[in-house]
């Protein structure tokens, strides 16, 4: 994606108040991020561990989404596969992130949840730019371009749910 300015990022949010968008913590070192290798900008709030954000281009417009990590302990089986980039993680490498829906639905408390790489660095995992001993990617018959296209398509479906 192209490099975004602080203003563009703050103005892109669709599921929080303008005040919240003005105050939220942006990723450090914006200008030094490897933008050309990012399919979307995703980050966890350095000052609030239960918050995360992602900003992506969709149909020619920027869509920013605020995410929460629910504090409720779940009894349901927890996924260790990112639903966006299909990277398999161990331990807490995948987090359930929920987004308040945009508009009226969100104001009524409607949310959409998704299991995603906890650090939101899907683009870098897909490209093999980020890994750890505990991270593995399944053997893929898809080429890199197709894996990137799949990540973007999965993200697009998630954003469609938030915006619906
Ligand atoms: Zn991922």
pLDDT digits (tens, 9 = 90+) for 69-122: 877 655 455 778 999 999 988 878 899 999 999 999 999 999 999 999 999 999
134 has a pLDDT exceeding 80: no
3-state secondary structure of 10: helix
Ligand 1 centre distance from Cα of residue 113 (Å): 14
Q: Would the pTM count as exceeding 0.85?
A: yes
Ligand 1 centre distance from Cα of residue 163 (Å): 21
pLDDT for residue 4: 97
Alpha-carbon distances of 128 from 25, 30, 123, 135, rounded to whole Å: 27, 21, 9, 11
Ligand 1 centre distance from Cα of residue 84 (Å): 5
Alpha-carbon distances of 6 from 21, 23, 37, 61, 106, rounded to whole Å: 11, 11, 19, 16, 25
Q: Which residues contact 61 (CB under 8 A, 6 or more apart)?
A: none
Ligand 1 centre distance from Cα of residue 89 (Å): 9
140 has a pLDDT exceeding 90: no
pLDDT band at 3 (very low <50, low <70, confident <90, very high): very high
Ligand 1 centre distance from Cα of residue 75 (Å): 23
């Amino acid at each position: 994606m192209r490099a975004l300015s602080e203003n563009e990022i703050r103005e892109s949010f669709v599921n929080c108040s303008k005040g919240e968008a003005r105050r939220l913590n942006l990723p450090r070192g914006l200008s030094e991020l490897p933008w050309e290798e990012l399919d979307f900008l995703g980050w966890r709030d350095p000052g609030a561990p239960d918050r995360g954000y992602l900003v992506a281009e969709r149909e020619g417009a920027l869509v920013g989404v605020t995410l929460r990590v629910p504090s409720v302990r779940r009894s349901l089986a927890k996924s260790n596969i990112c639903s966006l980039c299909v990277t398999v993680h161990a331990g807490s490498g995948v987090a359930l992130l929920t987004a308040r829906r945009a508009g009226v639905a969100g104001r009524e408390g409607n949310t959409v949840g998704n299991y995603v790489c906890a650090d939101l660095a899907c683009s870098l995992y897909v490209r093999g730019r980020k890994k750890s001993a505990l991270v593995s990617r399944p053997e893929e018959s898809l080429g890199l371009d197709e894996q990137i296209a799949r990540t973007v398509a999965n993200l697009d479906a998630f954003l469609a749910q938030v915006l619906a």
